[in-house]
Amino acid sequence: MPCRNCSGTGISAVSVICQRCSGTGEIIIYDSDGTERMQLCPKCEDGMVYIEQTCSACKGTGEILPLSS
């Protein structure tokens, strides 16, 4: 049967708070003259980073074997 954890894709995406901008979605950069400027963080979407990883429930197969009892 299809894995419920990853909807049968074998990949589960987890979202973590962006380390670069601490979840704000913006970073402060400094111009050469020292002026602070806000800029959209290039590392994330709205402060969250999505990491795709092999589903731990089905080990990437997308299928869960029913427990044989």
Distance CA 67, CA 58 (A): 13
Which ranges of the chain would DSSP assign to H, the alpha helix? none
20 in contact with Zn ion (CB under 5 A): yes
**Cβ atoms within 10 Å, residue 50:** 10
* Minimum distance from residue 69 beta carbon to Zn ion (Å): 21
| Residue placing its CB nearer to Zn ion in the complex, 34 or 43 | 43
Q: How far is the CB of 40 from Zn ion (least distance, A)?
A: 8
Smallest distance from Zn ion to CB 36, Å:
17
CB 16 within 8 A of CB 46: no
Reported residue count of the chain is 69
Which residues bind to Zn ion, rule: CB under 5 A? 3, 5-6, 18, 20-21, 41, 43-44, 55, 57-58
